[in-house]
Structure 1
Amino acid sequence: MIRTIRRSAAFAVAGTLALAAAGCSAPADDAATAADEGSWPRTIEHELGETTIEAQPENIVSTSITLTGTLLAIDAPLTASAATTPDGELTDDQGFFAQWADVADERGVGVLYPGLELDLEAVIAAAPDLIVISTTGADATAEAYDQLSEIAPVVAVNYGDKSWQDVADILGEATGLEDEADAAVASYDAEVAEVADTIEVPEGEANAIVYYGTENDVAFAKLGGPHADLLEALGFTIADAPDELDTAPTERQDFAFVSIENAVATLTGETVFLVNGDDDTKADLLDEALFANAPAVESGAVHPLGATSFRIDYYSALDVVHTIAADFGA
């Protein structure tokens, strides 16, 4: 749900906030130094068009909780983020994802609005100089792009068809933090390479799935999606998801949703990774008679990747890498 406001009111409030912000801004010399960093203004091409950003952003808000993790990883000046409904395992008590909630707290990032229900008035009150949004997932706000663009420059990202590293490149350019983005990717890649050299990868293919019991479709990670990319970087061979069996109303680049009847014949990997899964999820799959003949179920080669593994960002990706290092370490 989107709380709408009149355009004239939006400009009036935004103008008032901008004047207030100007009254308490940093000294002119500091502002000039910041403006000199990189080349500004710059025009960013993104999922919904082109956006010109006049100066390096200093007050960024994110309407996408999924993209917030990457903004934190590149040390962007993020002041507020949308939050989801608090869940004791997946989030902190504010609704921020558990894998980076401590980092957000240390940096003073506030809740832009709760429950992933876009609140334009809250965005205006934050007085951002850049708004980062998603075009996919439950945190997508693409339908409000024009309204948000009246408040501040907007950069839209589809994280469903990109690795977090690709997202970091995009956001690094938009924020003038290319070096920080490169450093985050390099640090992560070095850790992946180190783990890949120390684990024993089983023979055969692997499936990476989201399994919530037989009353739900099973989501299979697609080749080229962030989960498959992560696992393949560690040396696993991921079986591709069957597009022709995908029940999702719109095609996604990260997962194919397969009915439970078809999932029985599709779970062919000698190894199965449970995205967003824990030991209870593993026990449920191993105990389900429908999957008794699946190779990984027969052998018990089922590996939970943890509750935070569904939304892949720098922090959750490292959590997955560490989980796999513990499971497959030589």
Structure 2
Amino acid sequence: MMIPHNFRRTVLTLAATLVLAAQQAPAYAAEDGWPRQVTHEAGTLTVEKKPQRVVSTTPSVTGVLLAIDAPVIASAATTPGSLTDAKGFFSQWAGVADERGVEVLYPRLAFDIEAIIGRDPDLVISSATGADATAQHHAELTAQGLPTIVVNYSNHSWQELATNLGKALGLETEAAAAIARFDAYAAETAAAITPPEGKATIVAYNVGGSYSIGRPSSPQAQVLTSLGFDMVGLPPALASQVTRSSDFDFISRENLSSAIIGDTVFLLNGTRADVDAFLADPVLANLPAVVNKRVYPLGPTSFRIDYYSGRQMIDTVARNFRRS
């Protein structure tokens, strides 16, 4: 598909504008003065002064905190595996955490209030959902005099989390700059690639033994849309046959072929090996995307989009569609 010169020029101009905005002015008005009232998932917290020692009990949000330059001194770690470093920090932001001296709060998501108390934080970031949820310990934390904000990353984009946390931490300018940098990076990449004709579908193929179709409103689909792809989700006729989550519709493997209507398929968490397995699956042999070999990985860190994993996903997509 040929991209008109005027369109490329417009995208590049947009990218330059976004970078300039990030450098010169915040997108959101800074709040002056302390204390601040912060409404969060578990109630309202008065933040007495700008936090200087933040601990995160939710590694799924630690990347957002790092992206807005929050003073994170320690983060909970998950069980080490293929998506983490040896400590259990997610690989997309582990290097940044190391550069900034972020230490392990406690390992393997094994909640340890004594470890939190020992860090003497002036703000604790907690999660209401997910494997790293610690909202059930909110009363325990507050009883120890630990100011705690509970967030829900399951129904908020990383940009929304960044904006809200930026306000709570007095980092509105930094949050706006991170979002602008990300948008500029996507715009620059969009100007350098040629998306194929037709619709595109995100498929979670045999992820944890399950199969699902990404919604066009999912964070992953939104990134692909910003790169110029025309995203499509589950056919409406199959809506009654799926289990719905906020971003993906789960379906049986037997019905997977009828659930994929995109001319191009992107595999969530996918690597080249996953693409090969998808192409070799006899259940999917007649899909246009398989016949035409238009199946691509989104990369192993695409399971949850934050500032860092989102950029890695953009890089993965660009490698397959960059113009020579």
Q: TM-score, normalised by structure 1?
A: 0.83
**Structure 1 residue 261: Cα displacement:** 2.0
The higher-RCO structure (CA 8 Å, 6+ apart) is 2
Corresponding letter in the other structure for 1:161: N
What is the match of residue 40 of structure 2? 46
Q: Which runs of 4+ in 1 moved over 4 A?
A: none
Corresponding letter in the other structure for 1:280: A
Return the alpha-carbon distance in structure 2 between the equivalents of residues 167 and 283 of structure 1: 35
Question: 1:260 and 1:43, CA in 2 relative to 1: closer, same or farther beyond 3 A?
Answer: same
What is the match of residue 73 of structure 1? 67
What is the match of residue 25 of structure 1? none
Give runs of aligned pairs for residues 94-243 of structure 1, distance below 5 A.
94-151=87-144, 152-212=146-206, 216-241=209-234
Deviation per residue, 1:180-229 (Å, 9 max, x gap): 1111111111111111122111122211122127x922132223221121
Return the alpha-carbon distance in structure 1 between the equivalents of residues 180 and 148 of structure 2: 27
Q: SS state of the match for residue 315, structure 2?
A: helix
Contact 2:201 2:260 in 1 (8 A): yes
Return the alpha-carbon distance in structure 2 between the equivalents of residues 244 and 121 of structure 1: 47
**Structure 1 residue 265: Cα displacement:** 1.2
Cα RMSD after superposing both structures: 1.8
Residue 80 of structure 2: which of 68, 83, 86 is its match? 86
Contact 1:291 1:297 in 2 (8 A): yes
Contact 1:161 1:224 in 2 (8 A): no
**Structure 1 residue 255: Cα displacement:** 2.1
Contact 1:276 1:306 in 2 (8 A): yes
Q: Which moved further from structure 2: 224-233 or 106-115? A: 224-233
Identity %: 48
Contact 2:217 2:247 in 1 (8 A): yes
**Structure 1 residue 137: Cα displacement:** 1.8
**Structure 1 residue 47: Cα displacement:** 2.4
Contact 2:162 2:175 in 1 (8 A): yes
**Structure 1 residue 159: Cα displacement:** 1.5
Return the alpha-carbon distance in structure 2 between the equivalents of residues 219 and 149 of structure 1: 39
Return the alpha-carbon distance in structure 2 between the equivalents of residues 46 and 207 of structure 1: 34
What is the match of residue 308 of structure 1? 301
Residue 295 of structure 1: which of 288, 296, 306 is its match? 288
Deviation per residue, 1:2-53 (Å, 9 max, x gap): xxxxxxxxxxxxxxxxxxxxxxxxxxxxxxxxxxx94211111222322211
Q: SS state of the match for residue 127, structure 1?
A: coil
Corresponding letter in the other structure for 2:90: F
Return the alpha-carbon distance in structure 1 between the equivalents of residues 215 and 129 of structure 2: 16
**Structure 1 residue 243: Cα displacement:** 5.3
Question: 1:142 and 1:294, CA in 2 relative to 1: closer, same or farther beyond 3 A?
Answer: farther
Q: SS state of the match for residue 155, structure 1?
A: strand
Q: TM-score, normalised by structure 2?
A: 0.84
Contact 2:297 2:317 in 1 (8 A): no
Contact 1:134 1:142 in 2 (8 A): yes
Deviation per residue, 1:223-263 (Å, 9 max, x gap): 3221121111112122124654333xxx5312222221222
**Structure 1 residue 177: Cα displacement:** 0.5
Question: 1:142 and 1:255, CA in 2 relative to 1: closer, same or farther beyond 3 A?
Answer: farther
Return the alpha-carbon distance in structure 2 between the equivalents of residues 44 and 165 of structure 1: 17
